[in-house]
Amino acid sequence: MTETGANRHPTGTDHLSRRDFINRTAIAGAAAAVTGIAAAPAMAQSSKPTAEPKNAAVMPGSIAEAGQRIRNGSLTVEDFTRRCYDCIDRLEPKLNAFILQTRDAALETARERDRELASGRDRGPLHGIPIVVKDLYDMKGLPTTVGSKAFRDRMATEDATTIRKLREAGVVILGKTNMNEFAAGVSGTNTEFGDTHNPWSLDHSPGGSSSGTGAMLAAGVGLGGTGSDTGGSIRVPASWCGITGIRPTAGLVSLAGLFPRSLSLDTAGPLARNVRDLAVMLDAMAGYDPRDPNSSFAQPHARYADSLDGGVKGLTFGIVKNYTYRDVDQPVADAVRAAADTLAQLGARITEVEIAPLEGKLDYSKLFSDVLLYEFNQILGDQYRNTPNAKDLYGPIVQSNIDVGSKVAKETYEQRIRERPGVIAEVKAAFRQMDALLTPALPSTAPLLKASAQDYGRGRQFTIPFSYTALPSVVVPCGFDSKGLPIGLQIVGDHFQEALLLRMALAFEAATPFDDRHPPIHCA
């Protein structure tokens, strides 16, 4: 099977690099509009100590707690890792969140991390922290299936840049998680490896395409995970699984060694159980990478984890007229309104704004088809069409995506790309009068796994526009519906304002109880 090198050259693109593809399709103007933004200013440094739990046998609930216990000797990295696998053994038959477990390698890494601490070497806050990895990230010597039967035996020859950086930061990787095939969808379903189930309700979707990562973290296994987000694949599982996730500004986190879904819309980022852990994960993953032609030089220099505690007093949040509450289920609308009230009580200003591209100027379905699926066909279409038994190797959603993408005229696609800098500028102008936008992450709570494509398609109004404009957004739990299913709040900021977004998300999280609730399927 094919392999992906550092510049993400999948078979079927005539070995186009991401930069070649961008130049060929006139995206350079839009990229310049995004990467020319100045870095966000550093926030004041602050931290809060984590108390030792009364029952030392309890699994650590945060990276800070785990780090404290590993360093004070009440928990070894090896013991922590073994406890994670005990939980996986119990929960995986119900959740089906893994494609591959790396148990032997993880335990050896855990022992090495213990030896390092004993000898005085401390790699930092992620030293010895178990995480999970979405199976479109290359890990040397292991298959990167991208959730597809066609790529079951596709072996990676080197680590993705983010995997290398996370290893250097000290993590223990528990395994590679399940996902929608080729990241094509938000359902968490997979015809080859089976569907991933939501730990809040097993017959409901966990969201996708980073479904396995979302389900495992919500169930209390691991303290962080990697995802990718083209049209919502970090934000959707964060919302429907009741955890946190961030889609960073395009170019902030390297895409080298990730199999692409869209060469102009892809981003990579972390998911976690709380905002502080999300910031620690982003600190390890972010940074300029010469291996990724789309990586940005405009990188903030301050650590995100050191910029969290400034609160929201004096900040302005925008509610978009004819957008934030349009076509939104009542429990979701009520939760987002309550979230806005909470931020106001914390000293923020809530104001209504008008942003024409969000209020109907953009046709989200056409954007999805004309940009994302055109590029997906460029990436995978030739390989699919040149494979004699393709219909046996590729799932129906992937086949449909390639078919639709192959019918998008090059001229139509290029017109969409030429329009992109103007749309970006129009949306960015709104940040002159506010610090961030508030929207639901999705208009509904998790649908049934067997729900229709129409049910899953409703969320594009809150995900695709910010993919197209390359804006960062963080999702944090903000409530539950009558069935006990989580609701996510999306906070959207200007380019490279991740530090501010995380600070906002933490202020909200600290003032609300939603991150303290666990699903029925949980590793206690």
The catalytic position among 62, 134, 201, 262 is: 134
CB 360 within 8 A of CB 326: no
pLDDT in tens, 202-244: 999 999 999 999 999 999 999 999 999 999 999 999 999 999 9
Residue 48 known to be catalytic: no
Is pLDDT at 255 greater than 90 in this prediction?
yes
pLDDT in tens, 58-94: 899 999 999 999 999 999 999 999 999 999 999 999 9
pLDDT in tens, 409-445: 999 999 999 999 999 999 999 999 999 999 999 999 9
pLDDT, position 454: 82
Q: Give CATH superfamily name and number for 18-38+60-516.
A: Amidase signature (AS) domain (3.90.1300.10)
pLDDT digits (tens, 9 = 90+) for 379-401: 999 999 999 999 999 999 999 99
Grade residue 364 by pLDDT with cuts at 50, 70 and 90. Answer: confident
Where do the domains of the chain lie?
18-38+60-516
Average pLDDT score, the chain: 90
3-state secondary structure of 317: strand
Q: What is the pTM of this model?
A: 0.90
The verdict on whether 369 is a catalytic residue reads: no
Tokens standing for 71?
């360093």
In the structure, how many helices (H) and strands (E) does the chain have? 19, 11
Pair 205, 449: CB distance under 8 Å:
yes
pLDDT greater than 70 at residue 44: no
Closest CA to 318 of 299, 296, 344, 288: 344
The pLDDT value given to residue 301 = 77
pLDDT of residue 298: 81
Q: Which two tokens stand for residue 314?
A: 């004096």
Return the pLDDT at 57: 61
Q: How far apart are CA 443 and CA 491, in angstroms?
A: 14
Q: What is the pLDDT of residue 306?
A: 96
Active-site pick, 148, 187, 205, 209:
209
Q: Which of 10-19, 261-270, 338-347, 470-479 has the lowest mean pLDDT?
A: 10-19
Query: For residue range 285-338, what is the model confidence (pLDDT) as tens digits?
Result: 999 999 999 999 888 878 999 999 999 999 999 999 999 999 999 999 999 999
If 0-12 CB within 10 Å is exposed, 13-18 middle and 19+ buried, where does residue 140 land? middle
pLDDT band at 278 (very low <50, low <70, confident <90, very high): very high
Task: Give yes or no for residue 362 having a pLDDT over 80.
Answer: no
Contact (Cβ atoms closer than 8 angstroms) between residue 250 and residue 284? no
CA 140 to chain centre: 22
Which one of 187, 201, 210, 233 is the catalytic residue? 233
119 is catalytic: no
Sign of CA dihedral 256, 261, 267, 273: negative
Q: What contacts 313, CB < 8 A, 6 or more positions away?
A: 346, 347, 348
Tokens of 270: 């972390």
Q: Inform me whether the pLDDT recorded for 3 exceeds 50.
A: no
The span from the first CA to the last CA of the chain, in angstroms, equals 40
